[in-house]
Structure 1
Amino acid sequence: MASTSALFSPAELTFAQVPLTHSAAAAHPDDEVPLRLDGRTPLQYRDLVLETGVSQAQGALGSAKVSIEDAAGAGGGGTTEVYAGVRGEIETMSEAAPSVKADLPIHLASLLASLFSPASLPPTLLSHLVVLPGSKAWTLYLDILILSSSGGNVSDLSIIAARSALAATRLPLTRSIGFDEAGAQSAGDGAGMTVDEGFSGLVKGGKAGVRAVDFELIDGGEQGVRLPGWEDLPVGITLNLINQLPHLDATVLEESATSSQLVASFLPSGAVCGITQLGEGEIEYARVLPLISEASKYALELMKGLNAKLKAA
C-alpha cells in the first residue's frame, strides 16, 4: 500500500506487478504465464501455520496463533505472526455485548468489531452466552497482538487468528440458584450441564414456584464447554487489486505495488456480512460484484480448511 511503497524502488514495484497482471491478459492459453516471486499464481495462498490453546494469559478462554512466511524473500523476507485471545466476564445483559480490545490500526480494529458483531455471529453461539435470561450473560473480549508483519497480509491473518480463538473458546460450566415460594434455596442439577442448560428447567416450565435469581460455577467445570455453532463463524478475505485485477495473500512488496484492497466477509451460506475498501485507488463500479463473487469462493474454501483444522481444538 501507499504507506510502504517508499521502501521499494519503482523497478521493484514494477517487477512485482508483472505476474499479478499478466496472467489475466495473456493473449493465448499456451502463453507462458509468469509466476510471483515465490512461485505462486495470483489467487494462490501461502501455507498457514495455525495453533490453538497457545496462551492462558489473563484467564483466556480461547487463544490462537497464526503465522505465514515470505519464503522467497520478496520484500526483504520475513514473517507475519498474529496472536488472538478471548477473555470472558459475566455481566448484566443490558451491558453485555461482544467487543474487540485490539492494539491494531483503526481500520483493522473496526473490521474485526464489525465481523464479529452480534449480527454476524451464529444464533446458537449467542444463545449459549446467556447465563440467566434477562439478567446475566457472558461478554467476550477479543485481544489481538500483531507480533510481526514483515510477511504481509496482516488483515487476513488477524481475521483468521480471531476466528480461531473464538472457535476454540470454552466457557466454564455454571448452574442457576433459585428460591422456592417459601424462600428455600434450590440449585439446578449441574451434572453435565452447559451454560444455559443449568437454568432451563427453572425458567422454562420447570419446578412450580421456583425462580432462578443467581448462578454459581460448577466444581470441576473449569475446562468448560465449547461454544456451539463455532463452525458458522464468519470469515473474511482480502482481494489486493492492481489494474482492477485481484491477487490473494500479498507479501509486503506486493502490497506496496497494490493500488487498493477489498476486504470482504462472508457467512457460511455465502451471504456477505461486510465489505471494506482500503487504499487510495478506485474500484470500478462494474467490477465490485464480480470481485465479491470471486472473494466468496475463496473465503468459503478458507472457512472449510479452518474448520477442519479447528475440529479437534
Structure 2
Amino acid sequence: MPYLSQAERDYITEGVQSDLRADGRGRLDYRALVLETGIISQANGSARVRLGDGTDVLVGVKVEIDQVEPDADNVGKVVCNVECSPSASQQFEGHGADDLNNELTQALQRVLGGPQCGINFEKLCIIKGQQCWIVYIDAMILDYSGNVLDTIFMATKAALFNTRIPKTQIQDLGDGEFEFEVLDDVEDAERLDGIENIPIGVTLNKIGTGHIIDASPLEELCTEAKLTIAVNKDSQICGIQKGAEGGIEPGLMSEMIQTAKRIGQSLIQQLDQKLQDEEQQVDEKRLNGENIEKLGFFAMV
C-alpha cells in the first residue's frame, strides 16, 4: 500500500471540503467509463469495463443446467465469484488477496443472489422439482485504480444484459414424468427475464465531514468510513454494505443514501442507453452482412 503523509492527507481532505479533488473532479463526479460487451466467445454473456485510467474488470457469465435445491424446487439461482489478479495491485498479493476475493464475492452475491436483484428466478426453472438453470458470474479484476466494487457491479450488469440462455423444449411423458431438449439455435436463445431491474453499486467514501463517490486509491487511504449502496433503475435500495472502521453520523448517512439513489438512477440510465446502442449497432451490422469484430476495448459511454 502507498504511504500518505499528513500533508497529503490534509490536502485531499481540504479538497473534499472545497468540492475540488486532486484530479479536478467535484465530490460527486465519476471518472470516464468505457465498456464493451460480448468479448468472450465461449461465454453466454460477457463485458469489460474500465473506470478512469486504471480500474479494469472483466466479467463472464455461463449458464448450466443442474438440480434444483430441495427447499426451492421451482427457481434457478445466481452464483458469483470475484478474483483479483495479483498483477493488478500489491494489495491483491499474498494471503490478503483471499480475504479481498471473499469480501467482494460476498458483496456481489448478497445483491445478485436474491430476489432484490431483479432477475425472475422462476423463469430459470426448467422442470419444477427437477432441473433449473444456474447463472455463474465470474469477475476478474485486471487492473486497479480505486473504486473496484462499483466497477464490478457495472461490468456485471453489462455482462448480464449481453447474456442469452438457450431455449428448452419440454415434453410431458405422463404420470408426472417430463423430459426436455436444449435447442442449439442461437437465434432462439433468450435474454434473462428482469434484466432491466438489475442494480448497480454506488460507493460513497466519507473523508472529513464530507463524502465523495468514485474514490481514487489515495482518497481511499483517507477514507474514514464508506457505504456501498445497491440501487436499481427505480431508485430502490437493493442492499447496503458499510466498510472501513469509522462511524457515520445518522444525518450524514441519510444524505449519503439519497445521493447514492440519485446518482445510481442516472448512471443506470446512461449505462442502459450505451448497452442498447451497442446492441443495435451489432444487429445492424449482422443484418447488413458486415463483419462483427470485438476488440475487447472499447466504446465510450
With the length of structure 1 as denominator, give the TM-score of the two structures: 0.76
Counterpart of 1:174? 168
| Separation in 2, partners of 1:115, 1:41 | 28
Counterpart of 2:214? 249
Indicate which of 263, 274, 293 corresponds to 2:228: 263
Q: CA deviation at 1:306?
A: 1.1
Q: Is the 8 A contact 1:61 1:171 kept in 2?
A: yes
Counterpart of 2:82? 102
Amino acid at match of 1:119: P
Counterpart of 1:120? 116
| Separation in 2, partners of 1:260, 1:240 | 6
- Gapped regions of structure 2 (runs ≥ 5): 71-75, 85-99, 280-301
Indicate which of 146, 151, 156 corresponds to 1:152: 146
Paired residue secondary structure (2:116): coil
Paired residue secondary structure (1:41): coil
Q: Is the 8 A contact 2:50 2:56 kept in 1?
A: yes
| Separation in 2, partners of 1:97, 1:126 | 6
Counterpart of 1:130? 125
Could you say if the C-alpha distance between residues 111 and 300 of structure 1 is closer, same or farther in structure 2, counting changes exceeding 3 Å? same
Counterpart of 1:54? 39
Q: Is the 8 A contact 2:233 2:269 kept in 1?
A: no
Paired residue secondary structure (2:22): coil
Q: Is the 8 A contact 1:132 1:212 kept in 2?
A: no
| Separation in 2, partners of 1:51, 1:221 | 20
Q: CA deviation at 1:117?
A: 1.6
| Separation in 1, partners of 2:36, 2:111 | 21
Q: Is the 8 A contact 2:115 2:121 kept in 1?
A: no
| Separation in 2, partners of 1:295, 1:303 | 12
Query: After the TM superposition, which residues 198-237 of structure 1 pair with which residues of structure 2 at under 5 Å, given as runs?
Result: 213-221=178-186, 224-237=189-202
Q: Is the 8 A contact 1:99 1:141 kept in 2?
A: yes
- Gapped regions of structure 1 (runs ≥ 5): 24-34, 71-78, 182-210
Q: CA deviation at 1:212?
A: 6.0
Q: CA deviation at 1:10?
A: 2.2
Query: After the TM superposition, which residues 5-16 of structure 1 pair with which residues of structure 2 at under 5 Å, given as runs?
Result: 6-16=2-12
Q: Is the 8 A contact 1:53 1:168 kept in 2?
A: yes
Q: Is the 8 A contact 2:232 2:268 kept in 1?
A: no
Q: Does 1:20 align with 2:16?
A: yes
Aligned length: 257
Q: CA deviation at 1:176?
A: 1.0
Counterpart of 2:237? 272
With the length of structure 2 as denominator, give the TM-score of the two structures: 0.79
